[in-house]
Structure 1
Amino acid sequence: MPYGGFDGRVALVTGAAQGIGRAVAQALSGLGATVAATDRAAGPLAETVAALTARTGGGPAAGGVTGYPLDVTDPRAVDATVARVERELGPLDILVQVAGVLRTGAALETTDRDWAEVFAVNTAGVFHVCRAVVPGMAERGAGAVVTVASNAAGIPRAGMSAYAASKAAAVMFTKCLGLEVAARGVRCNAVCPGSTDTPMQRSLWDGPSAPRRVIEGDPAAYRTGIPLGRIAEPADVADAVVYLVSDGARHITMQDVYVDGGATLR
């Protein structure tokens, strides 16, 4: 990375057990940040923390990763976990929100349960965590928040109405929050990945040719392909996140950065 300044900083990463969240935790800890990694999947989270700790050789110290099981849909648990993290690791300087779920299906066939669960994690979860973390940042006069959303937040996707709507809401909440806390030194941005090689993406694949079909697009579903001709790796998204929480982005706030190989033609 061409930028540093993460030594001594404490970061909270939600959805850190796998995929993009794990890549973000790994990138930040590799640059010297102390990372609190959270996820509601306690077993996979423990495995991820063990693997990242083996790489960094640290625990609750600079460059270390500490796990905190957390369901972001539970506001009391969020408040308690944030308080615990700050008590054990120190005041939070960085918040990266990756926790998310996907439910697919036609808009008019989406069940109440699927709609509610998607919004509970992808939108209300973002609200709960920001409400617990950002006041402390504002009081201290500095902080960086990144919400990892989706390029579906900015373009219609057939069969993904609940997911797209929840991510669009999360992006706009992040921008509104950024406007309110900018004068107090807190920056809030969103990163919107496209198709990325994660367990969530692979759950949509139906055979060995699926990655090629993602790259080529699907005119019948009004979906463009990926101009760069590749599916992103989680590290590609993590790099954008790390930039936005770094001092190199100190004059960037209320933005949504698309990391999708040009798939949305933005």
Structure 2
Amino acid sequence: MSADQELAGRLALVTGAGRGIGEAVVHALAERGARVLATDLATRRIAAAVAGRYDGRVTTRDLDVTDAGAVEALVENTEQTLGPLDMAVNVAGILRSFSVAELTDEDWAATFAVNTDGVFHVSRSASRRMAERGRGSIVTVASNAAGIPRTNMAAYASSKAAAVMFTKCLGLEVASRGVRCNTVCPGSTLTDMQRGMWAAGSPGDEEAGARSVLEGEAGSYRTGIPLGRIADPSDVADAVAFLVSDRARHITMHDLYVDGGATLRA
């Protein structure tokens, strides 16, 4: 089967699909023939983006991944109305960028509620059903911050590290039942979240923010990007599409860094 239809007939659940990497994942999977249930807190944007495209294979539903009951109800309804899930991709995430001294209890809890608990809720619900059928693939989009310390990102990095280890542990538990679980760890990517970080650091000067990412910042102990470019969301989405495909059929519990070498794979 050609690569552009390698996911034909398969059904994917994508969280955080309303913009950025999540939206790019929806397009990447649909372009390869998959049917996609695209979810987010508000899906109006993605619904408009896919209108008239993909022969109606993309369905949108609002979903709060922090609500375990809502996640379970959505997955159950999806399997009854659209069919069995073949793939689940956890993209939903938030960033609260503060030093530990400035980080509030609410910031910490909110970050883990989305970035870690959300991954747990979706993966638990999807993997139960996949394991019963003896097939399936789950990909968690984490961050290269999960593998290297970052200043002013303790909550975000910790929540992503927890999501990575959770996904690996799940992968170990369900491997014998034909379910693969992997993570994709992006570095700096041209999303609203990235632009928000630039605006906070250099208000009104996106070019300066981008330059600091490419060149690195000694004061914050951050290296630059050896490849000399900031990722496009499609770069991350293509990595996800590979991992859910049969081309990755012997890959599980793997961490795929998509960061242009920024972490030096430390």
**1:62-211 superposed matches below 5 A:** 64-205=57-198, 206=202, 207=205, 208-211=207-210
Q: Distance in 2 between matches of 1:233 and 1:54?
A: 24
- Who is 2:215 aligned against? 216
Which string of whole-angstrom CA distances, capped at 9 and with x for unpartnered residues, describes residues 92-151 of structure 1?
A: 000000000000111132100000000000000000111111111000000000000000
Query: Deviation of residue 55 (structure 1)?
Result: 2.7
| Aligned residue type for 1:252 | I
Say whether the 8 Å CA contact 1:3–1:246 is kept in structure 2. no
1:152 alignment partner, SS class: helix
2:17 alignment partner, SS class: coil
- How many pairs are equivalent? 258
Query: Deviation of residue 7 (structure 1)?
Result: 0.9
Query: Deviation of residue 3 (structure 1)?
Result: 6.6
- Who is 1:265 aligned against? 264
- Who is 1:55 aligned against? 53
Q: Which 4+ residue blocks in structure 1 deviate beyond 3 angstroms? A: 1-4
Q: Distance in 2 between matches of 1:74 and 1:2?
A: 36
Give the RMSD, CA atoms, in angstroms: 1.1
2:252 alignment partner, SS class: coil
Q: Structure 1: which 5+ runs fail to align?
A: none
Say whether the 8 Å CA contact 2:12–2:34 is kept in structure 1. yes
Percentage of pairs with the same residue: 64
1:107 alignment partner, SS class: coil
- Who is 1:29 aligned against? 30
1:191 alignment partner, SS class: strand
Query: Deviation of residue 2 (structure 1)?
Result: 4.0
2:181 alignment partner, SS class: strand
Say whether the 8 Å CA contact 1:217–1:224 is kept in structure 2. yes
TM-score relative to the length of structure 1: 0.95
- Who is 2:245 aligned against? 246
1:15 alignment partner, SS class: coil
TM-score relative to the length of structure 2: 0.95
Say whether the 8 Å CA contact 2:4–2:33 is kept in structure 1. no
